[in-house]
Structure 1
Amino acid sequence: MEGAITRKQIAGITIEIQETRIGDDIVLILAGGDKPHIGCVVQAVPRPSLTNDGSISVTSSVLNLTGHKDEFLCRKLAEKRCRETGRIVVCTGGVHIENITKEQIHKLLEEI
């Protein structure tokens, strides 16, 4: 069940995203920084938009490890892929950077 791995350099930080299919569903694994880890799990489920315009919205559920901020990246990845595919997506993983700057955080959130 290996999947495609995408590597990105963002603000001097190497990020890897592995995508694997489980039947019709998608699992994303996010890893990067000095100490890749599992800091969060996000499940994104597609649903019709409440605007009734035919677009897809997403409902997400999040499990965080205490003190971890990985939800911001995992949620963005899971919801984006869910909207793109209309499939259930789970994203797990984490990025840890010692002494990360605010600029690096903003860049990661913009470009992930």
Structure 2
Amino acid sequence: MENDLLIFREKQGRIEILFYAVRMGEDLCILISGGDTPHIGAVAVRQVTPGSDWSGDMKMIVLPGHREGEVIGVVADQISSALNKNVAVCCGIHLDKATKDEISIVKEMLVKMTARLIQALSSPNSDQQ
């Protein structure tokens, strides 16, 4: 990663999600924001454990009434496992009167954006290695 910050933006219909990745030494801090009212809904921290068959430990805080924890644990786990780095993910996406289809779209967008980030940080041009 040439710079200390990567930003991805995805938009489908009324759903827009911003995905920020900030390098903090060897670690990564990911901020996921979007919808009608960006906020802090959940935080997940995934620590790698070098030399272990189990590659890490995860801690999560989900604020009452928020559903972001359903997805950010997966995001943190995938990024940490793929890049072998400690990762913190802070997420808050709120859509007023979201439909079930829109919630599914948000989840699909996060999967796609996670894969894009992993690919960007795994590329030979990235100095994250």
**How far did 1:11 drift?**
5.5
Deviations 1:55-85 (A, max 9, x none): xx44321011111111123222211111110
Q: In structure 2, how many angstroms separate the alpha carbons of the residues matched to 1:93 and 1:25?
A: 17
Aligned residues: 106
Q: Which residue of 2 aligns with 1:79?
A: 77
Name the structure 2 match of 1:54. Answer: none
What does residue 49 of structure 1 align with?
53
Identity %: 25
Stretches of structure 2 that go unaligned for 5 or more consecutive residues are: 111-129
CA distance in 1, matches of 2:39, 2:4: 19
Amino acid at match of 1:49: D
Long gaps (5+) in structure 1: 51-56
RMSD across aligned positions (CA): 1.9
Equivalent residue in structure 2 for 1:97, among 79, 84, 95: 95
**More strand by proportion, 1 or 2?**
1
What amino acid sits opposite 2:57 in the alignment? T
Q: Which structure features the higher share of helix residues?
A: 2
Structure 2 residue corresponding to 1:37, chosen from 26, 39, 44? 39
Taking structure 2 as the reference length, what is the TM-score of the superposition?
A: 0.73
* CA distance in structure 1 between the aligned counterparts of 2:13 and 2:57, rounded to whole angstroms: 30
SS at 1:17 equivalent: strand
Structure 1 contact 72–109 (Cα < 8 Å) conserved: no
What TM-score, normalized by structure 1, do the two folds share? Answer: 0.83
